[in-house]
Structure 1
Amino acid sequence: MHDRDIWEKRSIFWVAKNTPSYEPHPSEAKEPFYGRIVVPLIKRMLAAQGIDFTLEGVENLPATGPALLAFNHTGYFDFIFGGTVASLKGHRLVRFMAKTEIFDVPVVGLIMRGMRHISVDRAAGAASLDEAVRSLREGNLVGIFPEATISRAFEIKGLKSGAVRIAAQSGAPLIPVAIWGSQRVWTKDHPRQLGRNHFPVWIKVGSPVDISGTPEEATARLKKAMEALVDEVRTRYEEAYGPFPGGEYWRPASMGGSAPSLEQAARIDAEEKRQRAERKAAKAAKSAKGPRGLRAVIGRQGVLAKAAKAAKKLAPSKKP
């Protein structure tokens, strides 16, 4: 699918022949666990799957120093695919922001910490933001999914403002990255396709986004840049690997696929969130071991509330 007069294979990627080669990063290329074990292992795994990678825009990544990479989110392997984008830029490494539940899995959490990824506790977002800023100030590449969760529509949905806030506080450039084809490997509501599938995946690194103005204004610019980049990548994908007959679950409705629209996807997400909250509440109730347990919990809460009220009365007044 690639014109060999224009493209060439480097590692597992198809890249334009005029893509420069870069000297290894002085420290990241030598990082023993992430750089020398994990990345080569991932590349071998993806090669075994026959994933047909195309990578563009490597020149937009800094050879040294920090950058915040803002990825679109269509599949569960975005984290893995996105982690490879900087390998052609002197074997640089991307430290991803990932939900804390992943870190809570015993072995997986150990691996994530070993790769110096960043735990995101949605109940304590400020701490995660501070950790990302600290990582960027140390000169790292940090990956973030501003949509927060997978877009079932395979279109850019509403973005959180955390990306522009982190970039502004750290002084790092905010660079959009588009991944297309990841949803064919594994996405929400559809079975995994982890065998030797030969699916094409196209990745493009864009130019830094202007983050001046308010967080809302900068986030709007980021969304526009991500939409344009994704649109460009999926158009090139269609030209290289299409035409497709239509009705594919992994193609957005706007392109003739059967994926839900953004509005439909939002309703599905809301229902999923409601059901998750119900399951969590049911689990909490079950752990209370029936009415006696519930009364005990309520009783303890009552005692704590009374103690807090008494402490407040005894506390010295702050008035002069």
Structure 2
Amino acid sequence: MAELVYPPVIGVARTFFKALDIRFDIQGAENVPKRGGAVLVSNHIGYLDFIFTGFAARPAKRLVRFMAKESVFRHKVSGPLMRAMKHIPVDREQGEHAYQHALKALRSGEIIGVFPEATISQSFTLKSFKSGAARLAQEAGVPLLPVALWGTQRLWTKGQKRDFGRNHLPITIRVGETVHAEPGEYAASVTRRLRGRVQELLEAAQRAYPGVPRHEQDTWWQPAHLGGTAPTPAEAKALGAS
């Protein structure tokens, strides 16, 4: 079936980011399978992460179907677009339906995008991973594709104002080699290996990220362990519980 909505939406996003003069640094896109199913797994630090993660698959001419909370599909603007792009709504009280939907898509050769932290990390460090991505990959017999994003939080993230000015912000994206579950391996073990790989990619993305002149730097977007003023993981957890 022809993709009538997804490619034009990507074109609009590219035009928008070009107008903002976003500086992209994408490495590892050759690791995206050119055909067949895969579960793409990324860290989650900003509201636009699904767009940037999807960009990583474009050199392979692949479209990513993201699993997203159901409320996004109920919005009068985003809802029709999300459905037309064949993304998958997730009702956390009835998650089995979304799981089966994703499983069917994987078996038909689609790439499914998952943020296994479930919510945005306000500390900008990796939170614990849910095991759903690993279980999907194991049951569908497809690889896991680890991705790390850095800089996306500077555009729009939880607890901060959007910054859609022409600020020449850099966005760094790193795509790793696929991760495969060993025969009989527990999903928890696969998830630990996967999280470790995303952590390695995140650290690589942070090292490659361009320096910001001291007089221009606002350190709210930098994690505490790198000298920034973002909440520590413990503080971010308390914020989420409040």
1:195 matched residue in structure 2 = 165
Change (3 A) 1:49 1:210: same
Specify the code of the residue in structure 2 equivalent to 1:136: L
For 1:245-256, list aligned pairs within 5 A.
248-256=219-227
Residue aligning to 2:39: 68
From the CA coordinates, give the structure whose radius of gyration is larger: 1
Residue of structure 1 equivalent to 2:67: 97
> 2: distance between equivalents of 1:244 and 1:206?
31
The answer to whether residue 124 in structure 2 is matched with residue 142 in structure 1 is no
Other-structure match for 1:153: 123
Return the alpha-carbon distance in structure 1 between the equivalents of residues 176 and 214 of structure 2. 26
Normalising by the residue count of structure 2, what TM-score does the alignment of the two structures yield? 0.94
Deviation at 1:174, TM superposition (A): 0.4
Q: Which structure exhibits the higher relative contact order, with contacts defined as CA atoms closer than 8 Å and separated by 6 or more residues?
A: 2
Distance 1:134 1:244, change over 3 A: farther
CA pair 258-103 structure 1, distance change in 2 beyond 3 A: same
Q: Partner letter of residue 83 of structure 2?
A: R
1:263-289 Cα deviation digits (max 9, x unpaired): 111111111xxxxxxxxxxxxxxxxxx
8 Å contact from structure 1 (residues 148, 160) kept in 2: yes
Query: What's the CA shift for 1:79?
Result: 1.4
Q: Distance in 1 between matches of 2:98 and 2:70?
A: 10
- Which 4+ residue blocks in structure 1 deviate beyond 6 angstroms? none
Specify the code of the residue in structure 1 equivalent to 2:193: R
Structure 1 Cα separation of the partners of residues 35 and 214 of structure 2: 40
**AA partner of residue 186 (structure 1):** W
Aligned to 1:127: 97
Query: What one-letter code is carried by the residue in structure 2 that aligns with 1:189?
Result: G
Cα deviation, residue 142, structure 1? 1.1
Shift of 1:195: 2.0
* 1:244 Cα deviation from its structure 2 partner: 5.1
Alignment of 1:276-287 (within 5 A): none
Q: Which of 202, 205, 209 pairs up with 1:233?
A: 205
Question: Which is helix-richer, 1 or 2?
Answer: 1
| 3-state DSSP of counterpart to 2:93 | helix
Residue type of the alignment partner of 1:141: I
Instruction: Give the SS at the match of 1:223.
Output: helix
* One of 39, 47, 51 as aligned partner of 1:80: 51
d(CA) in 2 for partners of 1:49 and 1:137? 38
Provide, for residues 225-258 of structure 1, a one-character-per-residue CA deviation record: whole Å limited to 9, x for no partner: 1111101111111xx3346577600000011100
Note the alpha carbon deviations across 1:179-215, whole angstroms, 9 max, x for none.
1000000111111001222110000111112323111
Aligned counterparts of 2:160 and 2:75: Cα–Cα separation in 1: 23
Distance 1:41 1:234 in 2: 28
Residue identity opposite 1:63 in structure 2: K
Structure 1: unaligned runs, 5 residues or longer: 1-26, 272-320
Unpaired runs of 5+ residues, structure 2, are none
Separation of aligned partners in 1, 2:112 and 2:150:
20
In 1, Cα distance between equivalents of 2:77 and 2:124: 31
- Aligned-pair identity in percent equals 42
Are 2:169 and 1:169 equivalent residues in the alignment?
A: no
Match of 1:221 in 2: 193
1:179-194 to structure 2, matched below 5 A, reads: 179-194=149-164
Equivalent residue for 1:258, pick from 218, 223, 229: 229
CA distance, structure 2, for counterparts of residue 100 and residue 197 of structure 1: 32
Q: Does 1:208 align with 2:185?
A: no
Select 2:78's aligned residue among 108, 112, 115: 108
